[in-house]
Structure 1
Amino acid sequence: MTDRRRNILKTLLLCLSQFQWLVGMIVGLAGLYLWVMFRRSSLFFSSSSYMLPVYFTLATGALLLFTGFLGSWVFTRDSTCLQGLFVYLLVMVFCLGSTASALVVHQSINLDTEVHPLSGVFQNYTGSSQDPNSRAVDILQESMECCGVQNYTDWLDTSWFIHSGGYALPLSCCNTTFTNCTGTVFLPDQFYQTACHQKIRTVFRFILLDIIVVMFASVFLEQVILLVITTQLMREPQDQHYQSLRD
């Protein structure tokens, strides 16, 4: 009966460890995607603290992958030392995940204040492809399909618009469905109608909240189950092999 119970626990450990590989890849890819998005939009954030949840998320994903591999290895061996190391790493994953989740919650709450410099970046737009500030604005409007801070009329008050003749907006404001768009202010229907400030908030909050869901629903719950299974395995007596004695 004990052997059967032990085999069931080891099978559950193997299945959950392999599932942890998948969870680790999801968390790692989410952190990587968040890192790319933040780096691309770094000019639009007031401080570098927004990168903290990214680093903790990437660290959690890497540790999840390693513990998934270790859990599969523990399945093939009855080593109390390996099982103890596995439990220690599970606690580390839980701590990292908790820290990352707390930072993500804090970041999503303060997202409005973090994107406060957006107006200043648009005001410094020069239209030159060699200018990192201008290139970042064009990439933002094209990739997020938005125009202006609150709407396209924000461009009418910028120094670039006034000095360029007051006729056209940047081509990055053009909706790609209008192939003949030249940026003229007389055809505003051809511009993206979504505000960039709103789009940044929506996109980043969606990504941040997704990470929270993954952390709580997958990581935390799975770590608790793995901890219970591993501690039960450590408490179960190992198989004893008896040999008959002959004179």
Structure 2
Amino acid sequence: MGHCGITSSKTALVFLNLIFWAAAGVLCYVGAYVFITYDDYDHFFEDVYTLIPAVTIIAAGALLFVIGLIGCCATVRESYCGLTTFVVILLLVFMTEVAVVVLGYVYRAKVEDEVNTTIQKIYDEYNGTNSNAQSRAIDYVQRQLQCCGIHTYTDWQNTHWYEESKNNSVPISCCKTNVVGCTGSLTRPEDLYPEGCEALVVSKLKEIMMYVIWTALTFACAQLVRKYEGEILHSDQAQTLLVMYGVSGGQGISS
């Protein structure tokens, strides 16, 4: 009977280690998504505000992967010391996830002010050429978010590009995708996206940050719940280790 309990506990722990690896994959995916998506909007926002939370959540994913390896080795060898190390690293992951949530909320609050400060400068530096980074950024955002100008398409009339082009038009990237033969002429405003880009860029960046925040918060809460379940259900330290990783019964693991 005791042997069956130990076997069941070890099986459950190995299964949970697989879950940790899956969780590590999710965290790394979210971090990579932030990196890739941010690259399209990096001219509107300081690197530190988005990339620090992204790097931190990837680090948490890497730690979870290490936890899975340690947990598997400790379970197979029936090492109490190994499982204790397992718990310590898991605590570090929890602290990292909490840091991600805090940083995410702090930086998310700065998004609007940051975009408000930079977007006018970027539009002023637009020259319509593909070799110009600001031009590529503006054209990408206007096509991707289906917007034109900062607040509306008439904002282009206040830019250096408009004054130099002297053709009473806006960039082709302002044209609606379903309009054939659009030249960006201001004499045909119905062909242009009416909404400005500033609010949409802010919304997109906040959305990116929320992916990071909710992912980290979900994993942190899940770990916290398992920890308290272990403390409440079992006072024995070895059994607590098992319960924390999803085992509600069975025998302890030897040192």
Shorter-chain TM-score tier: 0.7 to 0.9
> Match of 1:124, as an amino acid?
E
Give runs of aligned pairs for residues 172-187 of structure 1, distance below 5 A: 172-187=173-188
- Output one character per residue of 1:212-245: Cα deviation in whole Å (capped at 9) or x when no partner: 2221223431365279499526585447xxxxxx
Looking at structure 2, the residues matched to 21 and 101 of structure 1 have their Cα atoms a distance apart, in angstroms, of 21
Looking at structure 1, the residues matched to 175 and 120 of structure 2 have their Cα atoms a distance apart, in angstroms, of 20
Give runs of aligned pairs for residues 139-158 of structure 1, distance below 5 A: 139-158=140-159
Q: Is the 8 A contact 1:90 1:223 kept in 2?
A: no
**Corresponding residue pairs, total:** 239
Relative to structure 2, which stretch is displaced further, 96-105 or 11-20? 11-20
> Match of 1:206, as an amino acid?
E
Normalised to the residue count of structure 1, the TM-score between the two structures is 0.84
Looking at structure 1, the residues matched to 180 and 75 of structure 2 have their Cα atoms a distance apart, in angstroms, of 59
- Output one character per residue of 1:122-157: Cα deviation in whole Å (capped at 9) or x when no partner: 111111111112122112222332221112111121
1:232 to 233, 236, 239: 239
Task: Name stretches of at least 5 consecutive residues in structure 2 with no aligned partner.
Answer: 232-236, 243-250
Aligned to 1:205: 206
Looking at structure 2, the residues matched to 78 and 20 of structure 1 have their Cα atoms a distance apart, in angstroms, of 19
Indicate yes or no: 2:26 matched with 1:19: no
Aligned to 1:114: 114
Q: Is the 8 A contact 1:23 1:64 kept in 2?
A: yes
Give runs of aligned pairs for residues 87-98 of structure 1, distance below 5 A: 87-98=87-98
- Output one character per residue of 1:19-38: Cα deviation in whole Å (capped at 9) or x when no partner: 22222222211111112222
Looking at structure 2, the residues matched to 19 and 148 of structure 1 have their Cα atoms a distance apart, in angstroms, of 46
Aligned to 1:58: 58
Indicate yes or no: 2:169 matched with 1:162: no
Indicate yes or no: 2:30 matched with 1:30: yes
Looking at structure 1, the residues matched to 104 and 85 of structure 2 have their Cα atoms a distance apart, in angstroms, of 28
> Match of 2:201, as an amino acid?
I
Looking at structure 2, the residues matched to 89 and 61 of structure 1 have their Cα atoms a distance apart, in angstroms, of 12
> Match of 1:91, as an amino acid?
L
Looking at structure 2, the residues matched to 102 and 53 of structure 1 have their Cα atoms a distance apart, in angstroms, of 9
Summarize the Cα distance change of 1:234–1:31 in structure 2 as closer, same or farther, 3 Å threshold.
closer
> Match of 2:195, as an amino acid?
T
Looking at structure 2, the residues matched to 226 and 68 of structure 1 have their Cα atoms a distance apart, in angstroms, of 17
Q: Is the 8 A contact 2:119 2:150 kept in 1?
A: yes
Looking at structure 2, the residues matched to 132 and 140 of structure 1 have their Cα atoms a distance apart, in angstroms, of 12
Looking at structure 1, the residues matched to 110 and 136 of structure 2 have their Cα atoms a distance apart, in angstroms, of 26
Task: Name stretches of at least 5 consecutive residues in structure 1 with no aligned partner.
Answer: 240-247
Looking at structure 2, the residues matched to 9 and 195 of structure 1 have their Cα atoms a distance apart, in angstroms, of 58
Q: How far is the alpha carbon of 1:4 from its aligned partner?
A: 4.7
Summarize the Cα distance change of 1:113–1:19 in structure 2 as closer, same or farther, 3 Å threshold.
same
Looking at structure 2, the residues matched to 9 and 233 of structure 1 have their Cα atoms a distance apart, in angstroms, of 12
What SS is found at the alignment partner of 1:149? coil
What SS is found at the alignment partner of 1:115? helix
Looking at structure 1, the residues matched to 76 and 30 of structure 2 have their Cα atoms a distance apart, in angstroms, of 31
Looking at structure 2, the residues matched to 88 and 224 of structure 1 have their Cα atoms a distance apart, in angstroms, of 16
Aligned to 2:247: none
> Match of 1:41, as an amino acid?
Y
Normalised to the residue count of structure 2, the TM-score between the two structures is 0.82
Looking at structure 2, the residues matched to 232 and 195 of structure 1 have their Cα atoms a distance apart, in angstroms, of 59
Q: How far is the alpha carbon of 1:3 from its aligned partner?
A: 4.5
CA RMSD of aligned residues (A): 2.6
